[in-house]
Amino acid sequence: MAEPSGNPMRPGDSLLRLIGNTPLIPLHFEEEDRTVWVKCEFLNPSGSIKDRLARTIVVDAEKRGLLTPDSILLECTSGNTGIAFAMIGAARGYPVAIVISDRASGERRTIIEHFGARLILFSGKGYQEGIEITRRMAADDARYFLPCQFENPLNAWDHEHETGQEILCQLPGRIDAFVSGYGTGGTLAGCSRALLARHPGLRVIAMEPAESALLAGEEACCHWIEGIAGGFVPPLLRGLKIDAISKVSSPEAIDMTRRLNRRFGLLVGSSSGANVAAALRQALELGKDSVVVTMLCDRAERYFSTRLFELQHPEGEAV
């Protein structure tokens, strides 16, 4: 089959086109009398912002001849990146192996397996251990292709040239602040760079779990905000001008996530709640007419077994 332009279509091209171009919508918080703009990354086909990175890395590797029909995509991830690669591998016809901590929620593992990918569980605490496993596997078998999301410059490049540009088209006027948590740092670094090029006065706000505020010079510790702050400052954040750090505690993140779920009808995960809590704080600081942008990173269905879904009365009282 060919596209209208005459170019031949590859398996999975239609799926890849569903990635990106997500809506940017205003959320008005009545009590605080502030509006925050949120980019709906949870609407990507596998349900998270990570579809962008997986698509760009796979397409780039294909163009450079690094992927052959017997290549196996191999990545260490806390879940969303694994889900994204598993989806794209299924659509493109590549086997996928995902190295994942045995503490990642069962739902994330189930989704990855349902896309047909192989799971390799490790019981270590940090990513470094999982990354080492992928390196050893790749050293022994040339079929493995390592996307290396934590170091791959395409990660931040993609957010600078895609996500950030979409935000600039969607909000052609003033933007005062961009707020984002970080896992690999790709979103924060890439989007900030794109927005700063148009708005040099933009405030870049890094959101961190209050329990693990490494950029603020504190110790890494346990938190419940899924998908961010893996216990180290990622290399992709090097050189980024960060104006302020906004610490959000795990209970605050869960409260705001519930507010997004129940008051706005947005069934998103806890990193989205944490981002919005920090963005709302920023809007309160900057004033009523401020334009503050943040990300809704993923859908909530992958967290059924986590604290986000512990049964609560809608007003927050445990039942």
Ligand X SMILES: Cc1ncc(COP(=O)(O)O)c(C=O)c1O
Question: For binding to ligand X (CB under 6 A), which residues are involved?
Answer: 48-49, 80, 181-188, 226-228, 269, 271, 297-298
Please tell me the distance from the alpha carbon of residue 61 to that of residue 92, in angstroms, as a whole number: 13
Of 12 and 209, nearer to ligand X (C-beta) is 209
Of 10 and 231, nearer to ligand X (C-beta) is 231
Given CA atoms 175, 180, 186, 189 in this order, what sign does their dihedral have? positive
How many CA atoms lie less than 13 Å away from 300 in the CB half-sphere? 21
User: Which residue type is seen at 93?
Assistant: G
Q: Which of 48, 50, 71, 270 is catalytic?
A: 50
Q: Which of 71, 101, 271, 272 is catalytic?
A: 271
Q: Is 271 a catalytic residue?
A: yes
Q: Is 50 a catalytic residue?
A: yes
Shortest CB 319 distance to ligand X, Å = 27
Of 281 and 302, nearer to ligand X (C-beta) is 302
Shortest CB 39 distance to ligand X, Å = 12
Residue whose beta carbon is closest to ligand X? 227
Of 71 and 190, nearer to ligand X (C-beta) is 190
Shortest CB 75 distance to ligand X, Å = 11
Of 71 and 80, nearer to ligand X (C-beta) is 80
The end-to-end CA distance of the chain, in Å, is 56
Shortest CB 139 distance to ligand X, Å = 25
- Nearest CA to 253 out of 204, 214, 306, 290 is that of 306
Shortest CB 41 distance to ligand X, Å = 8
- Nearest CA to 206 out of 244, 262, 158 is that of 244
User: Which residue type is seen at 204?
Assistant: V
Cβ neighbors of 238 (< 8 A, separation 6 or more) are none
Please tell me the distance from the alpha carbon of residue 189 to that of residue 175, in angstroms, as a whole number: 16
| Residues 239, 169, 208: CA angle, nearest 5 degrees | 40
Please tell me the distance from the alpha carbon of residue 80 to that of residue 96, in angstroms, as a whole number: 14
Of 75 and 298, nearer to ligand X (C-beta) is 298
Q: How many residues does the chain have?
A: 319
Q: Tokens for 45, please give them.
A: 């086909």
- 158 torsion bin: left (phi>0), alpha (psi -120 to 50), beta (else): alpha
- Nearest CA to 189 out of 224, 208, 164, 223 is that of 164
Shortest CB 50 distance to ligand X, Å = 6
- 269 torsion bin: left (phi>0), alpha (psi -120 to 50), beta (else): beta
| Catalytic residue list | 50, 271
